[in-house]
Structure 1
């Protein structure tokens, strides 16, 4: 009895990292989003669907909030075989350079063009290189909310930037593009942005609406300028070895369910974007229609100069869609 109590205590303490399952096959999916995020809701649906369709033979355990480590940690764990699935995007360019196209400024004019790229030859080329270079197989993709510029004055054209200090992530391409647009871009950790805006060290920042809300930037910024300068997508991936170990019927169930999940997530994302706009307006932010064509035209040269030959080829393919 004493030994049984000890085992139960250990199992309880390790509940977040160890799950007893009666399924024939169990997969661990770790990602960075929280429980309320549409990505998490989508992969939870995937887990429920595969469990039901496989009659309990295949189970996917979901670990949100970086429980299995950050994005690169989980990718490494999948490659080592200690995790199985994750959600990842342009970070994969650390191995597969074509994955940079998942988040290039002004690559896409709208969601329709993005979908054509993701579902077409551009997407296939990116997915092929990801699998070849990382051993990860993309099984579905999610469109992410566009990145927009916030500020304390309306920004309708690049001329309105006029040397404005602007926080950007530590990505050389982002620095080059905003410099070309006339701003003064400052690479900075995301955790420092709110205080820097509050103190006036920087005058603006750029992020999707979801992060503008979650970081409470509406408390220190008055305007959301609809530059929509980055439209991007992200993949749900599984290790190729892990996928190959599944029987053919379970592989089919997983891949079919993943496509259903993709449609489900897209519906959630569209509804979430509407709710985010309403929320930010209620918090006092004003939405400004920026001249996206003018921004794109002025940023184009900086974008093209930053891309290598194979990236530029894909970028040019996208422009023809």
Structure 2
């Protein structure tokens, strides 16, 4: 299936899902027959959405968000403005999600952190679940992805409208990490995701949850010895200034959603909501095109800035340690999804 066909199919599923959500939403009830003045005023009113996320201005998430904002402005004739707040200007990922839920922000970029409300979201980035990118895309755009997205809509109160593939997560450090023995006493940052904490504990490290905005200073001051992230965030976060090595553990293949509050989306006039979904469909393709060239470019730039890539990591040791820990950490519905993903052809 072509990229555009996949995205069109994904949009159709999203539209059907949103239709069901909207049917039960008081914000979509409309005004009584014969009283159109409120509707007409709503049609003319300019709406402004706040879109906050951790990536900086050089990151492909920001570049894609810029294109999304431009498309929405164009397709709505300026009636909906998307204001961008990169670099965690609105707060951390969790802060922004809570702001969306209370109505003081509208959009963010979020992934496995949403498991704090929607347990199935843990599978967005679970250690050693996916064999490769094709395997992951098949899951995202199939029944498994729909199950995860539906639970996010229901439990988190936000709707995924497009997603970003992520390059593999790798461990950074100031000494080479090739096997589990090298992790003894290694203090490291992980996102606030229980399965990450348990997996790295099982591997012998000393993980601690921390907001990404705190990582650079924590590394600089020696509070932690390392952290794990894809190449793009290692580069955009400037971690090459405080870390010498990228150890290719490739322990997680995952994706991340761009989400908007259910209330915010469902309160839009029908034509503006349709324009938002159409813009999301188009920017999905745009973001994927950026991603195709981004990973190798980021890796090359990190090497040019002095980081050394450790490629001979004993991944089997990491798999053998982490997978049993992951299974113990997951609840029954998460474990079912994990096993279905691993067994998916």
8 Å CA contact 1:50, 1:254 repeated in 2: yes
* 1:163 aligned to which of 165, 184, 193: 184
Q: Hey, what does 1:111 align to over in structure 2? A: 133
The CA deviation at 1:81 is 3.1
Distance 1:268 1:198, change over 3 A: same
Distance 1:79 1:167, change over 3 A: closer
- What secondary structure, in the 3-state scheme, does the structure 1 residue paired with 2:58 have? coil
8 Å CA contact 1:25, 1:246 repeated in 2: no
Q: Hey, what does 2:110 align to over in structure 1? A: 88
Find out whether 1:39 has 2:75 as its counterpart.
no
Gaps of 5+ in 2: 1-42
Q: Hey, what does 1:224 align to over in structure 2? A: 246
The CA deviation at 1:42 is 1.0
TM-score by length of 2: 0.76
> What is the alpha-carbon distance in structure 2 between the residues aligned to residue 253 and residue 194 of structure 1?
39
Q: Hey, what does 1:139 align to over in structure 2? A: 161
> What is the alpha-carbon distance in structure 2 between the residues aligned to residue 76 and residue 143 of structure 1?
24
The CA deviation at 1:265 is 1.6
Residues 154-189 of structure 1, C-alpha deviations (whole Å, 9 max, x = no match): 44444x5362514132544333222323x3324264
- What secondary structure, in the 3-state scheme, does the structure 1 residue paired with 2:127 have? coil
TM-score by length of 1: 0.81
- What secondary structure, in the 3-state scheme, does the structure 2 residue paired with 1:226 have? strand
* 1:299 aligned to which of 285, 303, 322: 322
8 Å CA contact 1:26, 1:61 repeated in 2: no
Matched residues, number = 298
* 1:280 aligned to which of 302, 312, 329: 302
> What is the alpha-carbon distance in structure 2 between the residues aligned to residue 240 and residue 217 of structure 1?
35
> What is the alpha-carbon distance in structure 2 between the residues aligned to residue 37 and residue 288 of structure 1?
24
More displaced stretch, 241-250 vs 188-197:
188-197
Q: Hey, what does 1:29 align to over in structure 2? A: 50
* 2:202 aligned to which of 180, 186, 195: 180
8 Å CA contact 1:148, 1:227 repeated in 2: yes
8 Å CA contact 2:245, 2:310 repeated in 1: yes
> What is the alpha-carbon distance in structure 2 between the residues aligned to residue 53 and residue 195 of structure 1?
42
> What is the alpha-carbon distance in structure 2 between the residues aligned to residue 314 and residue 282 of structure 1?
40
- What secondary structure, in the 3-state scheme, does the structure 2 residue paired with 1:126 have? helix
Find out whether 1:318 has 2:341 as its counterpart.
yes
> What is the alpha-carbon distance in structure 2 between the residues aligned to residue 310 and residue 45 of structure 1?
36
- What secondary structure, in the 3-state scheme, does the structure 2 residue paired with 1:66 have? coil
- What secondary structure, in the 3-state scheme, does the structure 2 residue paired with 1:161 have? helix
More displaced stretch, 168-177 vs 96-105:
168-177
Q: Hey, what does 2:124 align to over in structure 1? A: 102
Distance 1:221 1:63, change over 3 A: closer
More displaced stretch, 142-151 vs 303-312:
142-151
> What is the alpha-carbon distance in structure 2 between the residues aligned to residue 59 and residue 285 of structure 1?
40
Distance 1:148 1:23, change over 3 A: farther
> What is the alpha-carbon distance in structure 2 between the residues aligned to residue 228 and residue 186 of structure 1?
17
